Every structure is written in C-alpha cells, then in structure tokens.
Amino acid sequence: MLKFAISGVLCFICAYLGLAGKNYYDKRCKYLKDFSEFLASLRDGMSYANDKLPQIGRKFISGGKGAFYTDLGEYVNAVDNGNPTQEEVKKCFDSKYVSKSDKVMLKEFFCELGKFDYDTQMSRLNMTASQLKRTVEKAEKERKTTGNLLPKLGLVLGIAIMIILA
C-alpha cells in the first residue's frame, strides 16, 4: 500500500512538472508578444502623437497585466528618476521567461531608447521589431511543440514510475 501511495505522489509530481514546463513556454510567448505590442504602441506614439517615452509607457501599462507590463513599469519609473544605467535597464528586464539572447535584445533596445534623433530611433525601432517578429515566431513554434509535449511526457513518466514501483 505504501508503494502505491509513493508512486501516486511521484506520478503527480511528474505531471505537475510537465504542466510547469508548459506554463513557462506560454508565459515566454506572452512576454514577447507584449513587447511586440509595446513596440507598435511606441512607434505610433512617436510618429503621430509626439509623446515622450514615459507617457507612452504609462498608457501602455494601463492597458494590461503580465510580466512584461511589470518590467516596463520598473523601466518607466527608472526613466522618471533620471537616465537609467545599463545595469538598471538589465535589472528591469531580467525576467525568468526570456532567454539570454532575448534579454540582450531588450537591454540594448531600452538602453538606446531616446538617445538618437527621430529617424535613427525609428530605424532602430523597426529593426528591433523585425528581429522580435522572428523571435516571437520561434517562441510560438517552441510553445506548440515542446510546450505541448511536456505535460504529456510528465504524465507518461509518472505512469511509468507507478508501474515500475507497483
């Protein structure tokens, strides 16, 4: 009886870990998509409304919730307090849902934001948007393949452990 209880607990743990892995891929996709939406909002705010970065950021933050919105809020507060250093920007966007290369892209973009003339800024914004589009497509593909496979794999592994221990 004790073996059955232990194997049931181990099966539950394996299934939970599979769901946690799926959750990671889902949140990574959402984070990157929110960043993409912010870039579109930033482009519109700079082009048409001639708003400043903190105003655009606050408008965007008020429209949603999630990890990117929280990180962007920290960045906007850092901009309000003065010109943020690279370390402050890196700290703002140090999310567990993005890869190292994504963190580098975020840090470079937000460190350079507002440091160039309008045309250069817009070209860098468009370049980042195209790079981000490829990254979002890759993350979406990973979410569909690996993210959907992990819960199934966790459950199968848990059942295998139950069979072995029983």
Phi, psi values for residue 15, rounded to 5°: -65, -40
Give the count of beta carbons closer than 10 Å to the beta carbon of residue 165: 14
Question: What was the pLDDT predicted at 32?
Answer: 92
Q: Which domain holds residue 128?
A: 2-165
- H-run or E-run covering 22: helix 2-44
Q: Tokens 């250069």, residue?
A: 120
Question: What was the pLDDT predicted at 49?
Answer: 57
Question: What was the pLDDT predicted at 138?
Answer: 93
* Alpha-carbon gap, residue 166 to 160, rounded angstroms: 10
Taking only the tens of pLDDT, the chain with its 166 residues reads 788 888 888 888 988 998 998 999 999 999 999 999 988 888 887 776 566 777 788 888 887 788 888 888 888 888 888 778 888 888 888 888 888 888 888 888 888 877 778 788 888 888 989 999 999 999 999 999 988 899 999 889 888 888 888 7
Give the count of beta carbons closer than 10 Å to the beta carbon of residue 163: 10
Question: What was the pLDDT predicted at 51?
Answer: 64
Total structural domains within the chain: 1
Say which DSSP state 103 is in.
Answer: H
Question: What was the pLDDT predicted at 134?
Answer: 93
pTM for the structure as a whole? 0.86
